[in-house]
Amino acid sequence: MLTQARHALIRLLSRPPDPSVVTDPDSWELIRKFAAPYGVNGPVAFAARPFATGDARAWCDAVLTSHWRRHDQSLLDLGTVLTYLREAGVRPLVLKGPMLARRHYRPPIVRKPSIDIDLAVRDEELEAACTALIGAGYELHGSIREAKAYSRHVLLLHTTLPRVELHFRLSHGLSGIAVDGFFDRAVSSSLPSGEEILILDPADELLHLVLHFAHHRFPIFFNLHELRLIWNDATPDVQRSVIRMACEHHFVSALRMTEIAFRTIWGEPFLPDDVALPKTWLDGRLNGKLYEECVAWSEPGFRLTLAKRIRGRWIDFQLTDRPRDLFGFVQMFLSVGGYRLRQRAWGTLEYPHFVLRKENRK
């Protein structure tokens, strides 16, 4: 069922969309059931609506109405959190979320509503940012010290507002790129209220999306659909800047696997024809088989058991660029593994949008 659902979603989200999957009852039922777990409810509803009638049209309208309401609320929540930080003298970079939707989606409400607020904060301002949010009613999950040892961000939780992730590294956990350097290239944008904010410049934003895609082991649909949308709208100069930065920071494997994902799912290249990537030390492992393992790892309905996590780390090992990366990988594996063991967090379900009702797991 999952394979059939993926194929139906691919056909609907291609350019141009295939209307037959909307008018065929079996295909439409699969699309309707799996669009939310795969994170593409909005794009599916928007693409299907011109061809839908009756109950299918009503479903599309309900999805888009819900997305509209949640998008507007996300912008209000973002403004509230930024006000707390501004009053403390902290000016973060706004990552992804509704601001990305406003720049790259038409209409913006089509993007999957955010369940959190992602912000990048300079290392020297991280403690001040946490203090400001704690004073506004947020609770720090763990400690800053633990976050720097085991993660890429500090997590703060609130009873009524979305959780906030304050990133000090740009994805990829302990091997991520420190965010401080991205502030020098940041560009201005504005909330609907007119408040000026900072966002990543186009090349840095795309690099973030590529690394985020790789960090989650190349899950299909939401991350891939979004990356494809923004990558195809980028200029050749921006695309080449992304490739150059990824190679400089030893994320060649992320580029190569993204190329495989594009060709496998969309039947089109990700990299320009004249780009030749350097080989990684495990270059022969970067192939369609490994991509299918990544897809299987992130299928809807899974739980992050100890065995599942170990399998994920084996995938991560194959995605390292060079032998010296092995030492950092082992350090990360032991540090994160030890932390989760102490927290007894091996079986936590990390991705709530992958949850499926029992009757759909076929």
Query: According to the model, what pLDDT value does residue 196 have?
Result: 97
355 occurs within a structural domain: yes
Q: Establish if 219 belongs to a structural domain.
A: no
Residues 44, 78 contacting (CB under 8 angstroms) = no
Chosen domain end from 134, 165, 200: 200
Shared domain for 91 and 195, answered yes or no, is yes
β-pairing, 116-120 with 139-141?
unpaired
* 222 has pLDDT over 50: yes
Q: Are residues 86 and 195 in the same domain?
A: yes
Structure tokens at 250: 């030893």
Give the structural domain span for 339: 283-360
Cα distance between residue 210 and residue 3, in whole Å: 24
Q: In whole angstroms, give the CA distance from residue 106 to residue 255.
A: 27
The tens digit of pLDDT for each residue in 139-164 reads 999 899 888 877 899 999 999 999 99
Helix (H, G, I), strand (E, B) or coil at 336: helix
> pLDDT value at position 309?
79
Boundary (domain end) residue, out of 149, 184, 200? 200
Ramachandran sector of residue 201 (left: φ over 0; alpha: ψ -120 to 50; beta: rest):
beta
> Has residue 70 been placed in a domain?
no
What share of the chain in percent tops pLDDT 70? 90
Q: What is the mean pLDDT of the chain?
A: 90
Residues 87 and 185 in one domain: yes
In this predicted structure, the answer to whether residue 346 has a pLDDT above a threshold of 50 is no
CA 26 to chain centre: 30
Q: Domain count of the chain? A: 2
Q: What is the CATH number of the domain that holds 106?
A: 3.30.460.40
Alpha-carbon distance of 295 to 10, in angstroms, equals 14
pLDDT tens per residue, range 38-74: 999 999 999 999 999 999 999 999 999 999 999 999 9
pLDDT > 50? residue 351: no
Measured CA to CA, the distance from residue 133 to residue 84 in angstroms comes to 7
pLDDT at 140: 96
Instruction: Say if CB 329 and CB 312 are below 8 A apart.
Output: no
pLDDT reported for residue 338: 62
**Whose CA is closest to 300, among 263, 349, 335, 338?**
349
Helix, strand, coil shares, percent, the chain, to 5? 60, 10, 30
The answer to whether position 218 is within a domain reads no
Residue 187 lies in a domain: yes
Higher pLDDT, 324 or 320: 320
Torsion of CA 162, 168, 172, 174, to 10 degrees: -120
* CA–CA gap between residue 124 and residue 179 (Å, rounded): 11
Structure tokens at 66: 């819900």
Give the side-chain half-sphere CA count within 13 A for 83. Answer: 11
Helix (H, G, I), strand (E, B) or coil at 276: coil
Is 195 in the same domain as 90? Answer: yes
DSSP conformational letter for 251: -
Final residue in a domain of this structure, among 174, 200, 226: 200
Question: Which positions ≥6 away from 142 have C-beta within 8 Å?
Answer: 154, 155
Is 354 part of any domain? Answer: yes
Instruction: Please tell me the predicted confidence (pLDDT) of residue 353.
Output: 36
Tell me if 156 is assigned to some domain: yes
What's the pLDDT tens digit per position in 70-112?
Answer: 999 999 999 999 999 999 999 999 999 999 999 999 999 999 9
Residue 233 lies in a domain: no
Q: How far apart are CA 118 and CA 340, in angstroms?
A: 23
> Interior CA angle at 95 toward 204 and 229, to 5°?
65
> Residue 40's closest CA among 226, 252, 175?
226
Would you say 22 and 12 are in contact if contact means Cβ atoms under 8 Å apart?
yes
Question: In which band, very low, low, confident or very high, does the pLDDT at 261 lie, cut at 50, 70 and 90?
Answer: very high
